[in-house]
């Protein structure tokens, strides 16, 4: 169980200088970088090839795989990769395998024309999404395993560092992608996005080199516990043969984490938790999916977007994620969740002001800064909230389950964001007002269950 304790300002920030935090930072970056590829880079590539907003929005359905990675999370926990597991360790072996899949996919993207091979392009994007969602299972488990089970202070700080790492991979990756694409375009390269993906492939290689410095503890305790669970189920079944062994294995890997979650919280509270997790970031996702299209339509260049949305946004995110971690530790995760929801709704309205005022660099900067502040608080609070809920016996699978449900809300519903803008006849101001309203249902769910949640925040 994760315990978040109140600390003085100096005590709280001192934990960020633990060497393990650097490892968690890198793991977060590895997790966040693929979102650049299938998010802003893919969206802008399709936009500049002349495809419609609706098409770009529906292409975002590939993010939906993140909503279901919990289904194969138990397999990732148990299956070993030939050669890689022995040489690199169980967690790192899976991460490297998925990174190789992403690298090959980028090479394929560099060879195709979007308008002529849209189906192939989306298929490759789907492969990247599947590989990214799969590696996230292992990245989260490896991140949690960097911290001892009873190190509540370090676990809370690790949640903040994981968020900083994720946004660093996403924001700085976006800077590299946008500036590289603009440079190639300016020097006259026709297929400038295809060339950009080769440069991004080099970034993937560098991240894998960094991964070799992340320590992975070699422990047999997880295997022992899994075997005990299988044997317990086997004893309940009675007879022992090949079929019952398979049933016991499936039941132990899939059923155990789910039963544990509902047993710990009770059915009604568990459903309330799942409802909140599903709904919390929908408004942010609607805004995020269409933001780069909005920036382009209102008149900002790729360089402007890189500077304001990516570089400036990254600096803001790093600072306020660390401050957000401090707020969670000192004030508690529930207060942080309510504050984050209110901030997300309020900052979305700044984009309404930008839409109605027209192109304005200072207003663009203000909107981006406050949006990143809200996103920083929301994400670190959300990660800490999930970490408080999971049973350490099933850390990887339960974390993947809750994170996937949160992603399901953001991806499946937000895929209609482009269609919503089209239905509003391009009325971006009204669109952003609607994204602000979308946070309200989740806060209502949280309000009804807040007094019954079994959280340990000492």
Highest mean pLDDT among 139-143, 331-335, 408-412: 139-143
- For residue 319, pLDDT over 70 is answered with yes
- Domain ranges in the chain are 9-449
Compute the chain's Rg from CA coordinates.
22
- Residues near 305 by Cβ (< 8 Å), separated by ≥ 6? 178, 292, 295, 296
Average pLDDT, integer, range 161-190: 86
Q: Residue 188 pLDDT > 90, yes or no? A: no
Q: What is the pLDDT of residues 41-87, one digit of tens each?
A: 888 888 877 777 777 777 777 877 877 777 788 778 777 888 888 88
Q: In this predicted structure, what is the pLDDT of residue 220?
A: 58
Average pLDDT on 230-248 reads 62
How far is the C-alpha of 42 from the C-alpha of 373, rounded, in Å?
25
Neighbours of 417 (CB within 10 A): 26
pLDDT for position 251: 66
Range picked from 32-46, 58-72, 197-211 for highest mean pLDDT: 197-211
CB-CB contact of 109 with 124 (8 Å): yes
- In this predicted structure, the answer to whether residue 458 has a pLDDT above a threshold of 70 is no
CB 358 within 8 A of CB 298: yes
Of 87-91, 206-210, 280-284, the poorest mean pLDDT is in: 280-284
Extract the tokens encoding 120. 């192939």
Question: Lowest-pLDDT range, 32-36, 180-184, 222-226, 349-353?
Answer: 222-226
pLDDT at 5: 46
C-beta pairs of 440-447 under 8 Å, 24+ apart in sequence: 440/345, 441/279, 442/275, 442/276, 442/278, 442/279, 442/280, 442/282, 442/341, 443/338, 443/341, 443/342, 445/272, 445/275, 445/276, 445/279, 446/276, 446/334, 446/337, 446/338, 446/341
Nearest to 452 by CA among 259, 277, 271: 271
Q: What is the mean pLDDT of the chain?
A: 79
Whether the Cβ atoms of residue 329 and residue 156 lie closer than 8 Å to each other: yes
- Counting residues of the chain whose pLDDT is more than 90, the rounded percentage is 7
pLDDT at 4 exceeding the cut of 70 = no
249-275 confidence digits (pLDDT tens):
666 666 667 777 787 777 888 888 888
The answer to whether residue 208 scores a pLDDT higher than 90 is no
> With 50 as the cut, is the pLDDT of residue 184 above it?
yes
| Residue-level pLDDT at 2 | 39
Per residue, the 3-state secondary structure of 311-369, as one string, reads HHHHHHHHHHHHHHHHHHHHHCHHHHHHHHHHHHHHHHHHHHHHHHHCCCHHHHHHHHH
Q: What is the pLDDT of residue 243?
A: 66
How many CA atoms are closer than 13 Å to the CA of 373, on its beta-carbon side?
15
For range 82-101, the mean pLDDT = 89
- Write out pLDDT tens, residues 364-400: 888 888 888 888 888 888 887 887 777 766 666 778 7
Q: How far apart are CA 400 and CA 33, in angstroms?
A: 18
pLDDT of residue 393: 65
Mean pLDDT of 436-445: 88
- CATH number at 9-449: 1.20.1250.20
């Amino acid at each position: 169980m994760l315990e978040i304790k109140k600390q003085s300002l100096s005590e709280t920030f001192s934990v960020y200088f633990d060497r393990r935090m650097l490892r968690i930072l890198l793991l977060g970056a590895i997790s966040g970088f693929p979102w650049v590829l299938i998010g802003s880079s893919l969206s802008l590539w399709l936009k500049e090839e002349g495809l419609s907003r609706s098409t770009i929005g529906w292409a975002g359905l590939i993010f939906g795989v993140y909503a279901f990675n919990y289904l194969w999370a138990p397999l990732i926990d148990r299956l070993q990769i030939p050669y890689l597991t022995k040489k690199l360790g169980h967690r790192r072996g899976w991460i490297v395998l998925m990174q190789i899949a992403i690298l090959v996919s980028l090479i394929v993207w560099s060879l195709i024309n979007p308008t002529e091979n849209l189906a192939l392009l989306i298929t490759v994007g789907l492969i990247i999404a599947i590989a990214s969602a799969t590696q996230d299972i292992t990245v989260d488990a490896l991140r949690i395993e960097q911290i001892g089970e009873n190190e509540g202070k370090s676990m809370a700080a690790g949640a903040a560092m994981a968020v900083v790492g994720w946004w660093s991979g996403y924001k700085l990756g976006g800077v590299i992608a946008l500036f590289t694409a603009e440079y190639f375009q300016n020097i006259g390269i026709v297929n400038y996005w295809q060339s950009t993906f080769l440069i991004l492939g080099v970034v993937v290689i560098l991240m894998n080199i960094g991964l070799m410095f992340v320590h992975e503890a070699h422990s047999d305790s997880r295997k022992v516990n899994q075997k005990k669970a299988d044997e317990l189920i086997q004893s309940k079944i009675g007879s022992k043969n090949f079929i019952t062994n398979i049933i016991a294995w499936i039941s132990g890997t899939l059923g155990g984490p789910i039963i544990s979650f509902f047993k710990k919280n009770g059915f009604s509270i568990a459903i309330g938790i799942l409802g909140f997790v599903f709904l919390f970031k929908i408004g942010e996702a609607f805004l995020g999916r269409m933001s780069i299209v909005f920036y382009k339509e209102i008149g900002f260049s790729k360089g402007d977007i890189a500077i304001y949305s990516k570089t400036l946004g990254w600096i803001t995110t790093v600072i306020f994620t660390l401050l957000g971690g401090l707020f969670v530790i000192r004030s508690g995760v529930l207060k942080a969740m309510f504050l984050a929801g209110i901030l997300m709704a309020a900052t979305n309205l700044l984009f309404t002001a930008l839409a109605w005022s027209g192109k304005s660099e200072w207003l663009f900067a203000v909107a981006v800064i406050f949006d990143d502040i809200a996103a920083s608080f929301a994400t670190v609070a959300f990660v800490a909230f999930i970490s408080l809920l999971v049973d350490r016996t099933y850390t990887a699978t339960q974390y993947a389950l809750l994170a996937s449900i949160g992603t399901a809300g953001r991806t499946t519903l937000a895929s209609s964001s482009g269609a919503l803008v089209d239905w509003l006849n391009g009325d971006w101001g009204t669109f952003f007002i609607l994204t602000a309203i979308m946070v309200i249902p989740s806060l209502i769910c949280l309000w009804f269950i807040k007094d019954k949640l079994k959280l340990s925040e000492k």
